[in-house]
Each structure stands twice: as structure tokens, then as C-alpha cells.
Chain A
Amino acid sequence: MLEYKPNTVLSNEEFDTVGSSPIRHDGADKVTGRARYGADTILPGMLRGKILRSPHAHAVIKSIDTSAAEALTGVYAVVTSDDWPETSMKLVDLAEGSIHNLGFLSMNVLARGKALYKGHAVAAVAAVSTHVAEQALELIKVDYEVLKPVLNAIDGMKPDAPILHERLASVSNPALRPGGLLDDNADSMRTNVANEFEFNLGDVEQGFKDADFIVEKTTTTQAVHQGYIEPQAGVAQWHTDGKLTLFSSSQGQFTVRDHTARFLGIPIGDVKAVPMEIGGGFGAKGITYVEPIAALLARKAGRPVKVQLSRVEVFEGTGPTSGTQIKVKLGATKEGKLIAAEAELIYEAGAFPGSPVGAGIQCMMGQYDIPNGHLKAIDVVVNRPKAAAYRAPGAPASAFCMETAMDELAEKLGIEPLDFRLMNIASEGVRRVTGPMTPLVGYTETLQAVKDHQHYNTKLEGKHRGRGMATGWWANNSGPASAVLVVNSDGTVSLTEGSPDIGGSRAAMAMHVAEVLGLPISDIKPQVGDTDSIGFTSNTGGSSVTFKTGWACYNAAQSVKQQMVERAAKIWEIPDTDVEYKEAVLQHVSDPELKLNFKQIAARMIPTGGPIVASAGVNPPGPGPSIGVHVVDVEVDTETGKVEILRYTAAQDAGKAIHPAYVEGQIQGGAVQGIGWALNEEYVYNDDGALLNSSFLDYRMPTSLDLPMIDTIIVEVANPSHPYGVRGVGEVPIVPPMAAISNAIYDAIGIRMNDLPMSPDKILEALWAEEGK
């Protein structure tokens, strides 16, 4: 066991295994290169697939001539979207929060009729080698009619903007999700606005009339990529009975199965998706890009096909998060009470409808008690890759606007920013601006933990140095999840569960089982099941896994426990109710002589009734929200514009940290991604819509050399809807960093930075503008 314990406050209950930090079961294989990822699958006779991508950001595909490519020696198959059926435009709910218009998704995987961003997949080739496949791509002749692209939402909303989808159904629908296309007989709406949605609470006009202080501001953020290390990779193999097996790394093997089956027009029962290890996803691997193309190629070629993206393809052809423009107006009384809020959030959806603006708007003010509000969200299609989920999708951009506005308002009021937040928190039962009441969450406790922390109480000295803080709120998700336990005759327990393991969830799942059964974690053998060996489990996303799949593991373990009691009762010929199970020992409630441990019963399970197997399928409510509070010290180099992070502390209510070291890792990882988003990262396009920085050399993510140790504080206010009090932890840590750093820069140099990234050139321009006054 690791002898390691991060800062933890308010831990409400002690457990045997839960709350410890054992080494993950898959750790040794991963650090020694034995773990198998999507690209590691090699099958006999396997071909390599490559994808032809549009060189234009916006173009009509008039024709595609594949004959020369097909004639090239070594080429087994060439496919376009004509090789699969046109998918229905009906919205489909494939999993929790995973709502997709499969028609749009299908057109994103392989363009149909129009290429809508540079890098949009147009055709694909399967050949004996990657080199031959690449040669064949050059022989495919695509006749494009190049159109003017629209590259940001504001331009996309202009009356004379180029239109991406002539038949886009622009809606004003509570289901703020990918819409569809108009009926053939309806007039074109000629718009790029896919959806608009509003929230109203109280009387916002009166609220602002009553306010003594008002702050208004606008922020902009650019599209950023999730930056996972492992590019998407998948292998498809058809069997002689017409069934299909897919091997790939994803955040949901069931999503891979369902998307591929729907695109190909085959029953989901004909598809088995095998989850390989995953080298990062952060939301982007919750949808499919390569598996359906591999399946299409493999079917035509009659041989297995692997499709593996390059880094350039990852940047240009898979979804980053949305670029945004957000306006906010806040009003407060002179005593420091927030009484009115207004906001307009405009998010770029990429080439197809469905940005995360719905989440952005709901999370923006989730932590505050504001009685009067009007919030408006707008989803706009543009000629960029379709936006994909990225850690707390939508929330970081809206928090950047809200939390810098809170800082400005606190300054006007003459109140410490942290105290201003404490004065305005939405405690349990307070109505949020979006309507529903606030559930129990440790917002006060997390703010107080930061206020009490040594970082916050250490004076920051030095020229051009500043301290900033910000908070973040994320809704967390739940969803369907499954787990199966098998007791082995040596007393070990095999656990199969349905959630691909991104952040150490195998260990966390095994710990749920170990805690219930009183077994050491090393006796639990966890694995992630394929779609034929475990019940449906929704994506690894939404900070849902430890909550939902943890529940499934807990319930299955309770079933094993009960079966062990029954076996002991059978051996001793006594009623079940006379058997007590404590710390993996079963004994008679009143006769101390009758005692058997878990291993002894396991050794006798066959003659006492056969194998002990338990399964659980759940869809548990009540994941509860997450709260994060970050404080950061920066130093601004006024000669170069570079911002250095001097010190960083992130506090978060985890409910109960099942595995504190991995919770800390999630907090640190989210904070680091947020720091990159704040200071360096952005998609840079030219006027023609070509991405200019599609490599990690030019797309600057922070490394360990750029950062100090991210200190963490795990606050534990138990979630009453989970047996151990768990809240999801993976997403909220990316929400506060941008605002916290912007506030720190203001404290350092007196300039409000409202456009991300706050890169050296922008800092210098702001300094020069200031000097020019």
C-alpha cells in the first residue's frame, strides 16, 4: 500500500479500504509497456486503413472518383459515405447525457454531399500497408466546389453569413441538443443558429434597479483540444457468421457498438466492442471516429482493418471544445448580496449542431444564490471540427466570464473575493437561477478550507506578482452501469465491470467490493468487460463512474456477502439469520466455535451449492454536484509577457474520496489542463479555415517544467445518495483555473485579461495599451 495521504478535511466516516490509496491493478502493465491500447491489436491478414480528408473548410463534394485508387496493387477497399445507408436524422439517447443526432454523427465520420471543415473525412482506403494506403489516397479524385467558410460564431450569426446546412432546423427547444434538418417541403431558414434557449427567474429588471453596484463584461475563449496522448485507433474484424468485432480505445464500448451498428444499418447484437486500454480521452473518446470506417473497409475488403489516426488528424479531424463569446451583467447591494444576473452565452458547435452551451449556462451560476436572473444560450454551427466533450463540457468558459466578473464586483464592493463568495453561496434548498433547488454540497466547507489553508494565509510579495481565486460548479452525472462478481475457489474475487478505466477506476471499483466483503484489495481482480460479457454501462464521462459503477459493484458485493452467509448456514445447518459476516469472517452469532473465513467458504462453494456469482445493474439517482475552489499566485514578466505560475492550490468536495491519491490526480490533471487553456492553448486558423498549429510543437500544452506542484485539499461532505458518500471528481477541477489566473494577473499588473489564452503576446499588447494611456 502507498503511504500517502493528501490533505483531507471533514472526512465523515472511516472505512477499512475506502479512503486508502492502493496501487492500481493495471499499473505495472502500464508502466512496463505490457498494457494493450487500441493501436496494439494485430490480427492475421490485417490491412491498414487511411482516411482522405478535405483540404477545404467548406466545399460541396460534386463527385469522388476512386477508380485509380482501387486499381492500385495492394489496395483492398475504398469507401465513401455512399457505402453505408443514409442515417436517420432522429435524435437518439444512447446513454446518459449522450444525446446524438446519428445523421449528423454519421456525416461527421464520413462527409456526405459537403465537406464542412478542413480535415473532414471524405473517403478511406484499406491496403496491405500504410504506405500503399497513403499512395492510394493521392489517387482519389474529389471534385470540390469551394465555398467561403465561416470560422466563428459571431460571423456565423450575421445575416449574410455562408450557410453550412441549407436545411438546418433552427429551434428554440428546451432540449438544447443537436436538432435536425427541415422537411423537404419546408422553406430553408438559412441560418447557422442551431438552437437558442433561455432561463428566467424573478424580476431581473427590478433586480438591477435595486442594485447598488453593477458589473458588465464580455469574455471570449478559443477552441482547445483535449490533448490526450493516444490518438484514436480501432480494428474491425468480420466473422464468417456475419458478426463484427471491434477493438478500440474509447470512453464507452457500448457507444462504439451502437454507433457502428447504426451507421452500418446492422443489429447491435451483431457487433461486439472490446474495450482496449485508453491513453486519455477527457470526453473526446465518448463519440466514434475510426471504428465505423474500419468496419466499413473490413467488410468490403474481407479482411480485418486497423485505422489509426496521426496527431495531425487528431487535431484537424476530431472534436476540440467550443470557442465562445459570453456576456455577463451582475448586480449587488452595497452590503454585498447578489440580486440580479444576466448572461448571453454563444458557443461554436463546429460543423454540426450541439455545443455544450446547455451545460455552460446551467453551471455558470450554479453555486450562487441569485434571486433574479435572465440567461440566454445560443448554439452556432461553424466550419470547424464538430465540438466534442472536454472535461466539464461548457462550464470552464462560462466560469471564466462569471468568476472574473465576481472578482470585479468584489473589488467595487471592497470585499475580499473569497468572502464575497461566502456571502452569496447557494446552500442546500436555495433556488438556482436555472430553476431547481440546490442539493447538499460542501461549498461553504470548500471555501473555508481554502481560507484556512497556509497558501491563502501566506503573504505574496514581489513586483508584478499577484494572487487570484475562483470557484467552479459542475452538475455531475449518473447513468446505467453493470458489474459481475465471481468468487474463485481460492477466495479471490473476479470483478467484471462496464466502465473503461481512464483515471484508476478499476482500483476504485475493486475497493467498493473489498470494503463490502472485508477482503484485501489484492484479492479482487477487476477487468473491463466487452459488450457481450457485461451489461450496458453508459460512457466513462460526466464524473459518473465512481458513483454509478461503484453502486453496481457495491450491490453485487452485497449479493456475494449474502450468498456466503447462506453457504455457512448450510454447512452449520442453522438459519441464515444466525450467521454474522464481519471482516471476511463468518461466524455463528452466539457460538464462537462455528467460524469460517471467506477463503474457507470459497473452497467449499461447489459442494455447498455451486459457484458463487453475483451481478448488479443500476441506474442510480443523486450524483450530486461538485464544487472546486482554486487559488493561484502568478508572476508576470512585463518584458516578455510570460505568466509564471508560482503556487497553485485546488480544493474540492469529493463527497468521499474512495482512493485519495487518484482523486488528487484528477484535481491536479484538471487544474493543469485549465492552466494550459488559460495561458497557451488555442486553435489557430487562417482565413481559409486551415488549422495552423496541428502538432504538440505548435499547440502548446503545459509540461511539468512549466508548473509548480499543484497542492490539493480534498473536502469530504458526504453525498447522501451513495453508500460511501461519493461525488464525481474528474471534471470540476478544470472549471476555475482560467478565471483564477486572470484574477491573479489583474492583481499582479492591474489589467483585466478577458480573452483566452492569456498568452505573452496578449499580455504585452495589454501592457502597451495601458502604457499608451
Chain B
Amino acid sequence: MAEVWIPPKLQQLTGGKQQVQVEGTTVRRLINNLEEIHPGIRDFLCDEEQEDLIPGLAVIIDGEVSLLGMLDKVQENSEVHFLPAIGGG
């Protein structure tokens, strides 16, 4: 299972857990499974249509910023973070 690092402000939805082990071979499936375990968390990560991440939110998979977002693949032992996207100058 992948390990999802929960942003501090969302840890109230995971009972204070900082990391959660979740099944899922894509970010989308990961978030859907996370929602089943911790209802309500998807609304903070996905847009209204739940097709994309909230604009401004980056998903980092194994240290690399994903450019495919919800469609990106997640490996069995991946580490996944949700962080503010960094815009350049």
C-alpha cells in the first residue's frame, strides 16, 4: 500500500494520523480509497467535479512533483504528499 502524508490541517479528518496507508494504483484511486476510510477528505483535495486536484495543489509521488495529477500512477510502496504548488518567476 502507498503511504499518504496528510497535510496538518486535514489531520483532524484522519483522527490525527500524519500518514495513512492506502490502496490505489493511481492518485484518483488513492484519493477515492482515502475518502472511504476518512470521509470528507476528498473535498479538500479535488475540485467540484472530482476530476482534478484543487488548482494550486501539487501531488508529489516519491519525491517528484506529478504533472499528471489524478491520472498519475502510484506504486505499491510509493510515498505521496499533497503540497502547495510552487509557481515560478
Chain A residues packing against B (C-beta within 8 Å): 91-93, 96-99, 172-178, 197-200, 226, 282-284, 286, 356, 358-359, 362-363, 389-393, 434-439, 475-479, 539, 541-544, 619-623, 728, 731
Question: Quick one: given A98-B87, A391-B89, A435-B81, are A175 and B63 in contact (CB under 8 Å)?
Answer: no
B9 touches A198 (CB 8 A): yes
Q: How far is the CB of B34 from chain A (nearest CB, A)?
A: 13
CB-defined contacts of A623 to chain B, threshold 8 Å? 65
CB-defined contacts of B84 to chain A, threshold 8 Å? 174-177, 197, 358-359, 362
Provide a sorted-by-A list of 14 A–B residue pairs whose CB atoms are within 8 angstroms.
A91-B56, A174-B82, A174-B84, A175-B57, A176-B84, A197-B7, A198-B9, A358-B85, A389-B88, A393-B88, A437-B62, A437-B63, A619-B68, A623-B65
The one of B10, B64, B65, B87 that contacts A356, using a Cβ cutoff of 8 Å: B87
A477 touches B88 (CB 8 A): yes
1/0 contact trace for B48-68 toward A, CB 8 Å? 000010111100101111111
B5 touches A541 (CB 8 A): no
Q: How far is the CB of A57 from chain B (nearest CB, A)?
A: 25
CB-defined contacts of A731 to chain B, threshold 8 Å? 88-89
Q: 5 shortest A-B CB distances, which residue pairs?
A: A542-B88, A283-B89, A177-B56, A358-B84, A97-B87
| Prevailing SS type, chain A contact patch | loop
The one of A282, A362, A439, A476 that contacts B63, using a Cβ cutoff of 8 Å: A439
CB-defined contacts of B87 to chain A, threshold 8 Å? 96-99, 356, 359, 389, 393, 477, 541-542
In the docked arrangement, what's the CA distance between A392 and B68, Å?
23
Q: How far is the CB of B19 from chain A (nearest CB, A)?
A: 10
A92 touches B89 (CB 8 A): no
B86 touches A358 (CB 8 A): yes
CB-defined contacts of B85 to chain A, threshold 8 Å? 96-97, 99, 175, 177, 358
Question: Quick one: given A174-B57, A439-B64, are A97 and B83 in contact (CB under 8 Å)?
Answer: no
B67 touches A91 (CB 8 A): no
In the docked arrangement, what's the CA distance between A479 and B56, Å?
14
A362 touches B83 (CB 8 A): yes
CB-defined contacts of B62 to chain A, threshold 8 Å? 437
A176 touches B8 (CB 8 A): no
In the docked arrangement, what's the CA distance between A17 and B56, Å?
38
A621 touches B54 (CB 8 A): no
A621 touches B66 (CB 8 A): yes
In the docked arrangement, what's the CA distance between A390 and B88, Å?
8
In the docked arrangement, what's the CA distance between A477 and B58, Å?
12
A436 touches B63 (CB 8 A): yes
CB-defined contacts of A477 to chain B, threshold 8 Å? 86-88
CB-defined contacts of A98 to chain B, threshold 8 Å? 87
In the docked arrangement, what's the CA distance between A392 and B63, Å?
20
Question: Quick one: given A99-B56, A477-B88, are A622 and B64 in contact (CB under 8 Å)?
Answer: yes
B88 touches A437 (CB 8 A): no
CB-defined contacts of A172 to chain B, threshold 8 Å? 9
In the docked arrangement, what's the CA distance between A301 and B57, Å?
41
Chain B residues packing against A (C-beta within 8 Å): 5, 7-10, 18, 44-45, 52, 54-57, 60, 62-68, 79, 81-89
CB-defined contacts of A226 to chain B, threshold 8 Å? 89
Question: Quick one: given A393-B88, A437-B79, A543-B88, are A198 and B60 in contact (CB under 8 Å)?
Answer: no
CB-defined contacts of B45 to chain A, threshold 8 Å? 174
Q: How far is the CB of A350 from chain B (nearest CB, A)?
A: 15
In the docked arrangement, what's the CA distance between A173 and B44, Å?
7
Question: Quick one: given A92-B55, A173-B44, A435-B81, are A283 and B67 in contact (CB under 8 Å)?
Answer: no
Complex: chain B residue closest to A377, CB-CB: B84
Q: How far is the CB of B12 from chain A (nearest CB, A)?
A: 10
The one of A173, A197, A282 that contacts B89, using a Cβ cutoff of 8 Å: A282
Given A174-B84, A362-B86, 17 additional A-B pairs, CB 8 A:
A96-B67, A96-B87, A173-B54, A174-B9, A174-B44, A175-B54, A177-B56, A200-B8, A283-B88, A284-B89, A389-B87, A390-B89, A436-B81, A476-B88, A543-B88, A619-B67, A619-B68
Complex: chain A residue closest to B18, CB-CB: A200
In the docked arrangement, what's the CA distance between A97 and B60, Å?
14
Q: How far is the CB of A730 from chain B (nearest CB, A)?
A: 8
Q: How far is the CB of B5 from chain A (nearest CB, A)?
A: 5
The one of B44, B55, B60 that contacts A436, using a Cβ cutoff of 8 Å: B60
Q: How far is the CB of B51 from chain A (nearest CB, A)?
A: 12
Q: How far is the CB of A137 from chain B (nearest CB, A)?
A: 32
Complex: chain B residue closest to A434, CB-CB: B83
CB-defined contacts of B5 to chain A, threshold 8 Å? 435
CB-defined contacts of A439 to chain B, threshold 8 Å? 63-64
In the docked arrangement, what's the CA distance between A539 and B84, Å?
18
CB-defined contacts of B67 to chain A, threshold 8 Å? 96, 478-479, 619-621
In the docked arrangement, what's the CA distance between A476 and B89, Å?
10
In the docked arrangement, what's the CA distance between A251 and B4, Å?
35
Question: Quick one: given A198-B9, A200-B18, A438-B63, are A359 and B86 in contact (CB under 8 Å)?
Answer: yes
In the docked arrangement, what's the CA distance between A477 and B44, Å?
24
Question: Quick one: given A199-B8, A435-B5, are A541 and B88 in contact (CB under 8 Å)?
Answer: yes
Question: Quick one: given A436-B83, A439-B63, are A286 and B89 in contact (CB under 8 Å)?
Answer: yes
In the docked arrangement, what's the CA distance between A477 and B67, Å?
10
CB-defined contacts of B86 to chain A, threshold 8 Å? 97, 358-359, 362-363, 475, 477, 542
In the docked arrangement, what's the CA distance between A673 and B7, Å?
34
Interface centre among A175, A391, A542 (most CB of B within 10 A): A175
CB-defined contacts of B52 to chain A, threshold 8 Å? 93
In the docked arrangement, what's the CA distance between A120 and B89, Å?
22
Q: How far is the CB of A235 from chain B (nearest CB, A)?
A: 25
A177 touches B63 (CB 8 A): no
Q: How far is the CB of B10 from chain A (nearest CB, A)?
A: 7
CB-defined contacts of B66 to chain A, threshold 8 Å? 621
CB-defined contacts of A479 to chain B, threshold 8 Å? 67
Q: How far is the CB of B14 from chain A (nearest CB, A)?
A: 13
Complex: chain B residue closest to A479, CB-CB: B67
The one of B9, B64, B82 that contacts A621, using a Cβ cutoff of 8 Å: B64
Complex: chain B residue closest to A393, CB-CB: B89
Q: How far is the CB of B63 from chain A (nearest CB, A)?
A: 4
In the docked arrangement, what's the CA distance between A483 and B77, Å?
36
Q: How far is the CB of B7 from chain A (nearest CB, A)?
A: 4
CB-defined contacts of B64 to chain A, threshold 8 Å? 439, 621-622
Question: Quick one: given A437-B79, A541-B87, are A621 and B56 in contact (CB under 8 Å)?
Answer: no
CB-defined contacts of A174 to chain B, threshold 8 Å? 7, 9-10, 44-45, 54, 57, 82-84
Q: How far is the CB of B61 from chain A (nearest CB, A)?
A: 9
CB-defined contacts of A622 to chain B, threshold 8 Å? 64
Complex: chain A residue closest to B52, CB-CB: A93
Complex: chain A residue closest to B57, CB-CB: A175
CB-defined contacts of A393 to chain B, threshold 8 Å? 87-89
